[in-house]
Chains A and B, each alone.
Chain A
Amino acid sequence: MTFALKFVAASILAASATGAFAQKGETVKIGWLDPLSGLMASVGTNQLKTFQFFAEEFNKKNAAGVKFEIIGIDNKLSPQETTSALRSAQDQGARYIVQGNGSGPALAIIDAVEKNNARNPGKELLYLNYAAVDPDLTNSKCSYWQYRFDADTSMKMEALTTYMKDQSEIKKVYLINQNYSHGQQVSKFAKENLKTKRPDIQVVGDDLHPLAQVRDFSPYIAKIKASGADSVITGNWGSDLALLIKAANDSGLNVKFYTYYAVTTGTPTAMGAASDGKVYQVGYAHYNMGGEMKKYADDFKAKFNDDLYTTDIYTVFQALTEAFVKAKSTDPVKVAAAMEGMKFKSFNGDVELRKADHQIQQGLYIAKWEKASAKYPYSPENTGYTLAPVKYYEAYVSSTPTTCQMKRP
């Protein structure tokens, strides 16, 4: 009996001695679940390429010494399809799930991951949300098993309205958004923030249209024109933004657009010269970040003839490797614990994965669509135009409180 005890103790010691770099050489499979078909396919395709691109870059050299492998599955932008896609990714050995397009699928993932982790100890999953920005996901519906790397709607609106507050020419604002959680939240926070920051601004319209279905926005543009608005706030992304701006430029509508996602595929082309100085975007980055990211963007363009715009994917890989080193493991349970409150330096400055709700805290930029220049040279979709930063807000400006009551395992 004593021998057995000693043997166990010795093996534990031996295991922990070699365990210092236990994760070295391991392959980390990441299940990517986003649309590869339908109107939003171009956005999804670009982001899958971004994941593969950064996986390759990190495989060359990373502190944890692991290999990343991306398993891309089309979720057709539908919550139902997402659940089966998740199962399929799991069957192929993925313990990390990434998704970003649409808060509906994001919620489906949180739900599925919660259930899985409660029922299958030892086979836990960790969800890294790189773009689904519904504030509920880190508030009333928050989960220990989710980390979000994009700023949520309330944070972006905080920064955007802080900027709009100082633009005295804004008198009448029109809100047009996609009719699902994200769009509804944009509309809600825009109204709330404008009311406190600029009570003199009139909200002259508040439209919700179906997600990824509208092919012709000209009826909406006629409505915006008739309302007499001078500015439009929209959380639209992908084709819904590209077609909206296309229709606006076709009809010669002269308003300023305050957007969340002017970088998404197709929108730069739709903006072109006609939107010069008329489109603003709030985000954690812009095209001309310089440094390391400039090299990545140029490599990405050379390789895929496409633009690198979902740059927080870089932050996802960075957070993973840092956490692997810290936890000395690639086990999602240990990694999730290691990520709590983790602070590190990303391409856009110091960031923190806030412990209370697992929402990243990072600075936000307001950028304006204008002619590419020597200072801001990057030209997306070869338009000759670029998004030039006009204002930077530190993380604390846009930070919003959370109501998350997290259940920790």
Chain B
Amino acid sequence: MNVEFFVISLLNGVSYGLLLFMLSSGLTLIFSMMGVLNFAHTSFYMVGAYLAYTLSGIVGFWPALVLAPLLVGVMGAAFERYSLRRVHKFGHVPELLVTFGLSYLILEVVQLVWGRSTVPYGLPEQLQGPLFTIYGTQFPKSRSFIMLVALLMLVSVWLLLTRTRIGLVIQAALKHPEMVESLGHNVPRIFMLVFGGGAALAGLAGVIGGNTYVTEPAMAASVGSIIFVVVVVGGMGSLAGAFLASLLIGVVQTFAVAMDQSLATALQAVGVAVTEQTYGYELLKLTISQVAPILPYLFLVLILIFRPKGLLGTRED
């Protein structure tokens, strides 16, 4: 593995990781605050991409970059206000089920409106082409833009949570909602804001992820399971943990693709004779690049066994 390959893969991994972070930050906020595992979270990501596709055809990409997440945020807030809040009193399972149902509903609506095929949501002129060339490999502007937006988002969410009054109330409501309520704050409204805000963050990820990758109805499902891994590995409710876990998973997945080593080559390296006749050769010869897609889930299981609170989580339950 040479330096050139290492740098390029690191950049690819980090940009993918930052996109995952944009998605998972909203999810982890919502979960830590309301105890709701929002199964429809990546559906908001998809809606963000599709709305941006339509809006950028009308008002251009840059206004759409602002408008689409706002619209998604309003949708999220409305869903919390009129649906989630009603089932809240019945406990966590109905809440989970209602978001599960919502994800299917959104998928079908998206397919009805925009069709089952991919839509030609392309990059705007300003984001096309390479930003810089490193060791003869170009690094696209679109990926750099994802990194920039994700970092800006991280800083602003962090400032919002730690430096503003509403942020302090949110943090307080996270830990002791009853206490905050008895101090006279409107906790349901805070819940609605957080839910809407989380959905808007997912929408924002969709706006820039949709044109860098592909905008199609399966895009929600493709990241749906991975962001749960991020949230669990990072630690439920920990933004910093989600950040760390996203980068980790992004980088691990990118590098794993390049590893052609397998258990067979590892055994051969330590002097064990492995041939096609060896018992379980089919399994032994699987290379790391072939098992790359399941690595995050392996990680999830290991974390749940050895450190259930996650890397930076605080809860023990």
Q: Do A and B come from one complex?
A: yes
**Which of the residues A207, A210, A226, A266 comes within 8 Å of B293, measured between beta carbons?**
A210
B218 adjacent to A225 (CB under 8 Å): no
- Distance (Å) between the CB of B153 and the closest chain A CB? 20
- Distance (Å) between the CB of A177 and the closest chain B CB? 12
- Distance (Å) between the CB of A394 and the closest chain B CB? 38
Cβ of B54 within 8 Å of any chain A Cβ, yes or no, is: no
Name the interface residues of B251-294: CB closer than 8 Å to any CB of A.
253-255, 257-258, 289-290, 293
CB closest residue in chain B, given A210 = B293
Residues A252 and B137 in contact in the complex (CB < 8 Å), given A219-B254, A225-B5: yes
**B8-16, B28-36, B85-93: which lies at the A interface?**
B8-16
Cβ of A301 within 8 Å of any chain B Cβ, yes or no, is: no
Cβ of A36 within 8 Å of any chain B Cβ, yes or no, is: yes
B-side contacts of A45, CB under 8 Å: 117
Cβ of A223 within 8 Å of any chain B Cβ, yes or no, is: yes
**Which of the residues A36, A225, A226 comes within 8 Å of B116, measured between beta carbons?**
A36
Name the interface residues of A199-216: CB closer than 8 Å to any CB of B.
207-208, 210, 213, 215-216
Interface residues on B, range: 35 or more
**Which of the residues A39, A207, A210, A225 comes within 8 Å of B216, measured between beta carbons?**
A39
Residues A252 and B293 in contact in the complex (CB < 8 Å), given A39-B218, A41-B118, A219-B254: no
- Distance (Å) between the CB of A135 and the closest chain B CB? 22
A-side contacts of B117, CB under 8 Å: 36-37, 41-42, 45
B-side contacts of A223, CB under 8 Å: 5, 257-258
B290 adjacent to A252 (CB under 8 Å): no
In the bound assembly, the distance between CA atoms of A225 and B11 in angstroms comes to 15
A39 adjacent to B214 (CB under 8 Å): yes
A226 adjacent to B214 (CB under 8 Å): no
In the bound assembly, the distance between CA atoms of A111 and B290 in angstroms comes to 29
B139 adjacent to A251 (CB under 8 Å): yes
**Which of the residues A41, A213, A218 comes within 8 Å of B222, measured between beta carbons?**
A213
B290 adjacent to A208 (CB under 8 Å): yes
- Distance (Å) between the CB of A93 and the closest chain B CB? 25
B116 adjacent to A38 (CB under 8 Å): yes
A37 adjacent to B12 (CB under 8 Å): no
**Which of the residues A38, A39, A226, A251 comes within 8 Å of B258, measured between beta carbons?**
A226
Name the interface residues of A311-343: CB closer than 8 Å to any CB of B.
none
B-side contacts of A137, CB under 8 Å: none
- Distance (Å) between the CB of B120 and the closest chain A CB? 8
**Which of the residues A37, A179, A207, A253 comes within 8 Å of B137, measured between beta carbons?**
A253
- Distance (Å) between the CB of B277 and the closest chain A CB? 21
Cβ of B104 within 8 Å of any chain A Cβ, yes or no, is: no
Query: Residues of A at under 8 Å CB distance from B?
Result: 36-39, 41-42, 45, 74, 179, 207-208, 210, 213, 215-216, 218-220, 222-223, 225-226, 239, 243, 250-253, 266
Q: A225-B136, A226-B2, A251-B137 are in contact. List 17 more A-B contacts (CB 8 A).
A: A37-B217, A38-B116, A39-B118, A41-B116, A41-B117, A42-B117, A74-B116, A215-B213, A216-B16, A219-B255, A223-B257, A225-B8, A226-B4, A239-B214, A250-B138, A252-B130, A252-B138
9 tightest A-B contacts by CB? A41-B117, A37-B116, A252-B138, A226-B5, A219-B257, A215-B213, A250-B140, A219-B254, A222-B8
